[in-house]
Amino acid sequence: MTSRPHPYVIADVFTDTPLQGNGLAVFTDGTAFDERMMARLARELNLSETVFVLPARQGGDAWIRIFTPGIELPFAGHPVLGSAFVLAGERETVRLETARGIVAVALRRDPHGAAVFGRMQQPIPTLEPFEPQAQLLHALGVTRSELPIEAYVNGPHNVYVMLADEAAVAALAPDHQALAALGPFNVSCFAGAGRQFKTRMFAPAIGINEDPASGSAAGPLALHLARHGLVAFGEEIEIAQGAEIGRPSKLHARVSGSRARIERIEVGGAAVIVARGEFSL
């Protein structure tokens, strides 16, 4: 690695207000870094995720690698959405290569041409059983889930626990050490009705005690709700997250198709660029 400046951009994702949403660092030229240095930089910045942009390999606009402070992820929602805003230029659609394939992000612009909203088509998750349910509920400090506890894998392993109401979600005080001992998965605790839902996501095993906005979990949440009849297929839900840690966020998600055949999962939201800097290494 040469000793030279390495620029990066900070974007707040799933919000249109600076210093809210989920912060993301994007190194716009990651070619100077090996995997070990990418992991060290992600730990240094200590955001939920840090992205390293590399030349496209499979026909996309760029290849991105995504790191939490603990591990590399094959796919994650807010890094894809935020990277699309950072790399958009004049494009209406940004196609980003991830380890789960190319993810397209369609951008909506204001009358001045600035990107104000993005909608990504996410990988369709696989459904898996989640075995340590009693241990999970104990670590969360709750007694039951209102829907079956199931895992959806679209890169990360996303596990869902439905609580009785939004107040119960807000009151959660999980045992992060006990959660981390159960393995590297994201647990989303949620409640709501109609099209409005509140969620909190915990993933201490991968270095994220609580995530302000979880794009990779939003799509499977819409699928989980549709599979169990709480929303209709094709109906868009709005997800509030992050208020308890001072980073309020808003996510939009919908799933098209049917229980027998999932056709499309989309997650959208706003993002704002709030800082630019460089590492001198």
225 CB-side CA count, 13 A: 34
3-class DSSP state of 203: strand
CA distances, 228 to each of 125, 224, 233 (Å)? 16, 6, 11
Q: Please pick, among 49, 150, 210, 266, the residue that the annotation labels catalytic.
A: 49
Q: Report the distance separating Cα 25 and Cα 23, nearest Å.
A: 7
41 CB-side CA count, 13 A: 25
Q: Which two tokens stand for residue 145?
A: 């889930």
Is 49 labeled as catalytic in the residue annotation? yes
What residue spans of 46-165 are helical by DSSP H? 77-87, 133-140
Q: Report the distance separating Cα 217 and Cα 57, nearest Å.
A: 27
33 CB-side CA count, 13 A: 27
CA distances, 111 to each of 103, 114, 115, 207 (Å)? 26, 8, 10, 40
Task: Return the bridge partners of 108, or none.
Answer: 117
Active-site amino acid positions: 49
